[in-house]
Amino acid sequence: MPVVSHEGAELYYEVHGEGPAIAFAHGSGGNTLIWWQQVPHFAKSRRVLVYDHRGWGRSRCAPDALHPRHFAGDLAAILDHAGIDKIDLVCQSMGGWTGLPFALAHPGRLQRLVLCGTSGGFDTPLTAADRARTMALWPSTPIADMVLSRGFQLRDPARTHLYLRIAGLNPPESVPTVRPLLATIRIAPEALAGNRMPMLLLSGDEDWFFKPETIADMARRIPNARSTCLAGVGHSSYFEVPQDFNRIVGEFLG
């Protein structure tokens, strides 16, 4: 599979299917494998690009280059290497810090944007409150309770186990290094005041990181954005309810 060098990192990516391009940017508990319920679905009619953020999965980088400020440029470098001009982009959690900065830096390359369980650095009183709350609780909270609803863990212990094993393939230093650095990237609402790109903001009503009202408030502040909340779902709707997630995203993308 292809690897591209960019700003101190070796970035791994995969392309599946043919058609209009769609890219998926994973969260801190994921990597290319975490989209196993999306790739076959969307590859029926689209060219699907999945990749590992620097420091995750099979993407390697120097310790001093492990910073989310590189995320948007990394995606641009991957697209150039893959020969892809324009994309629809789906971002989960940490992947939102790729999505919104990429939208601002490369508006001509992005057609539609989906943000799932993420602020992407969008700075409001509610996102700041959620950030402070989760940083305080993070050291004492099991990873499964952060990323998956309790109901899902009880209903589907096998897929819960799979999620944790996929997350375990990432280098152990990546999450504790990058998570605090996400707070250094803050996008003021005014930066998106002229947004014309369609945006969908997805949340789960049991999301540990970002409350549904936080995501809904973001959507109200961004022109051409709308929000949808999934009931009984935690932080990782794409993993818990893939059929609903794929349908909602597919309908939004048209």
Could you tell me the domains of the chain? 3-253 (3.40.50.1820)
The one-letter code for the residue type at 236 is S
Mean pLDDT over the full length of the chain = 97
Mean pLDDT over 67-86 rounds to: 98
Residue-wise burial string across 143-169, b where 16 or more C-beta atoms lie within 10 A, e elsewhere: ebebbbbeebbeeeeebbeebeebbee
Mean pLDDT over 19-47 rounds to: 98
Task: Show contacts of 192-196: CB within 8 Å, 24+ apart.
Answer: 192/100, 192/103, 192/104, 192/122, 192/221, 192/222, 192/223, 193/223, 194/223, 195/103, 195/222, 195/223, 195/224, 195/225, 196/223, 196/224
Is the CB of residue 185 less than 8 Å from the CB of residue 211? no
Question: What's the pTM?
Answer: 0.97
In this prediction, residue 218 has a pLDDT band, given cuts at 50, 70 and 90, of very high
* Helix, strand or coil, per DSSP, at residue 213: helix
Cα dihedral 226, 230, 236, 238 sign = negative
The pLDDT tens digits for 29-38 are 999 999 999 9
pLDDT at 232: 97
Mean pLDDT over 243-254 rounds to: 97
pLDDT at 126: 98
pLDDT at 52: 98
The pLDDT tens digits for 149-200 are 999 999 999 999 999 999 999 999 999 999 999 999 999 999 999 999 999 9
In this prediction, residue 99 has a pLDDT band, given cuts at 50, 70 and 90, of very high
Mean pLDDT over 233-238 rounds to: 98
pLDDT at 1: 72
Residue-wise burial string across 8-22, b where 16 or more C-beta atoms lie within 10 A, e elsewhere: ebebbbbbebeeebb
Q: Residue 184, by phi and psi: left (phi above 0), alpha (psi -120 to 50) or beta?
A: alpha
* Nearest-angstrom CA–CA distance, 97 and 75: 11
Mean pLDDT over 194-211 rounds to: 97
Give start and end residues of each alpha helix (H) in 93-139.
Answer: 96-105, 125-137
Is the CB of residue 116 less than 8 Å from the CB of residue 237? yes
2 Cβ neighbours under 8 A, 6+ residues apart: 12, 13, 14, 15, 81, 82
Mean pLDDT over 222-236 rounds to: 98
Is the CB of residue 149 less than 8 Å from the CB of residue 204? yes
